[in-house]
Structure 1
Amino acid sequence: MKPVGLAPTHGTARDIPGIPATCRDQAWERSRLEWRVGDPGDPATLVENFLARHGLPVGDLSGPSLAGLAHEVCGAALFVSAAGGAAMIGGCPGAPSPAPAVPDVVVVVYEHTANLRLQEPSAGHLGRTVGAWRLGPWRPSWSPSRHAEAVESVREAIARGDVYQVNMVGHAAAGYGGDPLPALRRLMRLPGARYAGILQGDGWAIGCASPETLLEVRGGHAVTRPIKGTTPATEAGRAELLSSPKERAEHIMIVDLQRNDLSHVAQTGTVRVPELFAVRRWADLWQAESEVTALLRPGTGLAELLRAICPGGSVTGAPKLAALREIAALEPVGRGVSMGALGWIGPDGIDLGLTIRTVAADGQDLHIWAGGGITIDSDPAAEVAEAAAKAAPVRAALHGLL
């Protein structure tokens, strides 16, 4: 049954993360594909074929950019949930999503329209527009003690040799009244939100404030920028991040995983790490970020590329399939819209953010997720505190406190 309170919305693409500035006010929805875990078909192949049918050059991404040429459409928004990314590689999808109104894969194709005044959204504004905005208390999916127990379980799995690192994620939901879109737009204004944007559908909306690049492709050159390692955005926090053997080891492990992921679609010998452990700010936190690059092998299409990079290594762990099994066994609810991908695919390339710092709105609740990478040296209490620190700016923005 469609959730109450969120009306179907079809309109411009101005809020899509990664959309070119020239398309923001002229791109109008033309066609949409939605897929859920359990639906027939391979989601990566379905995405590539759908975009190809609409004239986007996604069959071979190794060649030069086609920017400046005439195209049938201006581009497309792509969303892949954590479970959708796991399905692309045959991994464990995890527990059911607490926001089942949101599909696991969404592709929205846009075309340029000369005069948008001639077209109107099919059902007006999204959300409960009666009454002032109000957000109820947060209901966590697990307690701090249960979170700490999951961290300890991962440490035991690492000691057994089952995995090297696993990302543990918690969830919380809060009921709301009024229109959620202004709250999601406040989220977009968080400092460091490189992939700030909103994607909407029938009965749902996604708000993103992610700083992390999952995948960027231009002219056959692929880039991923994993983030791992978090401390408070103070001088002491910066010094702590730079000097911590645990944070650096956790980070390097994921960089190696991302190097391996890109190697599956790269020309031999072209995988590089031009930047390692750079400290950057998101909201009130320092985070460590690296850049991994490669030249794509001739004939690499979008489906093969998505299967190589999804779900993101920084939010799964290493080895990836083994980490997904641990996640499925330990996390009480699904990751929903978080820890997936959201961004833009156009004739000139791809720009997808990893959906950390991301919120789902359905007809009843707002949903948020936060977590961190667990290694053998992780302290359970510190990991619980880190997840809370990542969620705090998101909660504040949703409440209107920022």
Structure 2
Amino acid sequence: MSENGPHGVEALPLGMIDVPGAPAGCRARLEERARLQWWTADGGDPAALAQEFLAAHGIALDDLARPATHDPDGVCGAALYLSAAAGARAAGGPPGPPSPVPALPDLVVVVYGHTDQRPAAAGGADGGWWLGQWCDSWTPRQHANAVSAVRDAIGRGDVYQVNLVGHAAAAYAGDPRPALARLAALPGARYGGTLTGAGWAIGCASPETLIALEHGRLVTRPIKGTRPATPAGRRDLLASAKERAEHVMIVDLERNDLARVARTGSVRVDELFAVRRWCDLWQAESTVSAAPAHGLGLAALLRAVCPGGSVTGAPKLAALERIAALEPVGRGASMGALGWVGAGRIDLGLTIRTVAADAQRLHLWAGGGITWGSDPAAEVAEAAAKAAPVRALLAAG
């Protein structure tokens, strides 16, 4: 575990903060004040470590039901990144196989304060950017066999649904940060943005809210169900009994997760199976909300909702055991949380459609939920369709 001042971590020019969820009115006048980085090998509870570090630097998130006011002149808030492995650790499940990006921490908390300094121009030079061929960590046949293995587990009654995720990597040359920043321009990238550190960077184009605090209520927006963004694809998604059953199962899981930390009787489904667009895909999204219980802190909230139900399955701990047994490499930057926390504000996206860079390679993950009605070939094709827009944008010069 490491705690550093901003210059001990990375000496980059001051620029507009590009963290997903950062307050729009503050992004041009923020500077890094302190940073925590943690790997699962360090031991301990990442959720507790995050809350304690934030409190030590002026961001008290020990009672989310208590109104709080943003300080326009002092500490603004913090970027928070939590890997899927860290989320599994916090939830009491297996973390899965080793990450293909060992330089990337499993927990990053970066505290930002306001400054009157003029930021440098956002972004960087694209000149000299080169991206090699993608190499997948499993073949289509291996992916399809894993889908069949999940269906067998469902048939035995071990699980009801499991989300399977594949990984691919590609060598690159040049500065990866401008390429990663371009992901925010993808249509539907509600959590578009970047986070960087020494020897690593994350770029996100996620459309999915893992957890947010909005108008005094906790909100999650699980996405489950995908079709091509054509009129026929939309009709097919709305008519699919398989997709709706899969979706409702995850909505029920999210209702249960929120109920663990909510005021009694306050959990509700505000919107069910709404079809929305991400790039050239239709996806089904629901909105579940609840009033936070009195005394609920950030750590308990993270333990309740991480890893996200839409990227694990049901029951969650049993699904995590299947994931750890079947996926060939760790989920790295994907299927975790990335966003912003501050006084009276939480806005964390689930890191789907997310890319990580280390010193030599870019890493990308994609997958989907597997139920008894899943067709292995169709699941392989769906994962490829989710990765395609991200790969295309990263390859652009």
TM-score with structure 2 length normalisation?
Answer: 0.94
Which residue identity lines up with residue 151 of structure 1 in the other structure?
V
Which residue identity lines up with residue 146 of structure 2 in the other structure?
A
Match of 1:3 in 2: none
Residues 343-354 of structure 1 aligned to structure 2 (within 5 Å): 343-354=339-350
Match of 1:31 in 2: 34
1:159 to 150, 155, 158: 155
Q: Which runs of no fewer than 5 residues in structure 2 stay unpaired?
A: 1-8
DSSP-derived class of the 2:392 partner? helix
2:99 to 92, 97, 100: 97
Q: Does 1:47 align with 2:45?
A: no
Residues 208-219 of structure 1 aligned to structure 2 (within 5 Å): 208-219=204-215
Q: CA deviation at 1:101?
A: 0.8
DSSP-derived class of the 1:193 partner? coil
Match of 2:371 in 1: 375
Task: Report if aligned partners of 1:8, 1:203 keep a CA contact under 8 Å in 2.
Answer: no
Q: CA deviation at 1:347?
A: 1.4
**CA distance in structure 2 between the partners assigned to 1:237 and 1:9 by the alignment:** 47
Q: CA deviation at 1:65?
A: 3.7
Cα RMSD after superposing both structures: 1.9
Task: Report if aligned partners of 1:194, 1:212 keep a CA contact under 8 Å in 2.
Answer: yes
Task: Report if aligned partners of 1:186, 1:400 keep a CA contact under 8 Å in 2.
Answer: no
Aligned sequence identity (%): 66
Q: Does 1:14 align with 2:10?
A: no
Match of 1:280 in 2: 276
Task: Report if aligned partners of 2:224, 2:243 keep a CA contact under 8 Å in 1.
Answer: yes
Q: Deviations over 1:84-106 (max 9, x none)?
A: 11011121100101111100000
Q: CA deviation at 1:57?
A: 2.6
Match of 2:6 in 1: none
Task: Report if aligned partners of 1:215, 1:222 keep a CA contact under 8 Å in 2.
Answer: yes
**CA distance in structure 1 between the partners assigned to 2:395 and 2:182 by the alignment:** 9
Q: CA deviation at 1:218?
A: 3.3
**CA distance in structure 2 between the partners assigned to 1:270 and 1:56 by the alignment:** 26
Q: Deviations over 1:12-36 (max 9, x none)?
A: 4521001111211111000000010
Match of 2:63 in 1: 60
Task: Report if aligned partners of 2:126, 2:178 keep a CA contact under 8 Å in 1.
Answer: no
Q: CA deviation at 1:130?
A: 10
DSSP-derived class of the 1:21 partner? coil
Q: CA deviation at 1:55?
A: 1.4
DSSP-derived class of the 1:191 partner? coil
Task: Report if aligned partners of 2:73, 2:114 keep a CA contact under 8 Å in 1.
Answer: no
1:196 to 192, 195, 202: 192
Deviates more, 1:383-392 or 1:182-191: 182-191
DSSP-derived class of the 2:25 partner? helix
Residues 101-250 of structure 1 aligned to structure 2 (within 5 Å): 101-116=103-118, 132-250=128-246
Count of paired positions: 388
Deviates more, 1:103-112 or 1:218-227: 218-227
Match of 2:88 in 1: 86
Q: CA deviation at 1:71?
A: 6.5
Q: CA deviation at 1:70?
A: 6.0
Which residue identity lines up with residue 49 of structure 1 in the other structure?
E
Q: Which runs of no fewer than 5 residues in structure 1 stay unpaired?
A: 1-6
Q: CA deviation at 1:131?
A: 6.3
